[in-house]
Structure formats: structure tokens, C-alpha cells
Amino acid sequence: MRGAVLATMLALTVVESGCYVYAQVPSATLQPEPGASFGFTLNDQGRAALADRLGPSVARVDGRFVGLVGDEYAVDVSDIETLGSGRAHWSGERVRIPRQYVTGISERTLSRGRTALVAVGAAAAIAVFIVSRNLLGTGTPDPDSSTPTGGASSTRIP
């Protein structure tokens, strides 16, 4: 049972992450809405200056945008991506990122194509499960259930 729960949680995580993409947003026209998810790509100066708060070699910070505080983006960090080590998950710690350290901003949006693909795949998996388990009741009769009278059935009335 525990394995099924873990497999379900893993599948849901993959499905959830596969349905979203990050689309580049022109920073000059950006009017970020608090609560929306964004990715902030850091320049070399930003990687060095924020290393004490984020860790070494952070290339990108993903998280929920909280608001502008002066000339800094306040972000509740969900993930960071480093240059050599890949991604690391964070649990919503708030970090301020000065604008001069950001080279690009991308907004996390729902991917209609990926979502449709996942929905079709899930529907196909459910259909295969139902058919393979004969849950519709349209299978062949059980060979052990034949009557002793050669296949003819009778009804007994008391």
C-alpha cells in the first residue's frame, strides 16, 4: 500500500510539473502581480553578491513574487538552479533580489499542449486499467460455472 501511495505522489508531481512552462517576460514592461510565480535569471555580479543567501553559482531563482521593495524583487523561493549542480528545492524562504542582478524574468504559465497530452495519457491509462481488469463485466463466462445438465439452466421455485 505504501508503494502505491509513493508511486501516486511521484506521478502527480511529474504531471504537475509537466503542465507548466516558464515564458520569458520583457522586464521593461513587467508589472508583476504579487502571488504569481516567476523565474529570475541572475547575472555574474548577482551570483557573487547573493552567494551568502542562496549558495554558490546560482543561475536562476524560481518562486512566488511577493512585491517590490524599493529596487528589489521580494520572492518566496521554491527552487534554485545552479550552474553545475542542477536544481535544489526550497520551502518558501523570502529573498530580496536587486534589479541590477537580474538579466531575465520568466513567468510560470500553464502549458495547454502539455496539459492536453497529460490528460489524454491519463485517460488512456485509466481505460487500459478498466479493460485489463474486466471492470465493465463484458468478459467471457467462467468455464467452471457450467450446469451439470449440459449447459441448460433451470430455475427452482420453492
Could you report the per-residue pLDDT of 135-154, keeping only the tens digit for each? Answer: 676 656 656 655 555 555 66
Task: Say if residue 86's pLDDT is above 60.
Answer: yes
- pLDDT value for 95: 97
- pLDDT value for 33: 73
Q: What is the pLDDT of residues 114-131, one digit of tens each?
A: 556 666 677 777 767 767
Angle of helix 112-132 relative to helix 2-18, nearest 10 degrees? 150
pTM above 0.85, yes or no: no
Distance CA 108, CA 114 (A): 14
Q: What is the pLDDT of residues 14-73, one digit of tens each?
A: 445 557 666 677 665 566 677 889 999 999 999 999 999 999 999 999 999 998 889 999
Q: How many CB atoms lie within 10 A of CB 39?
A: 21
Output the CA–CA distances (angstroms, integers) from residue 97 to 23, 101, 132, 152, in the order listed: 20, 7, 53, 82
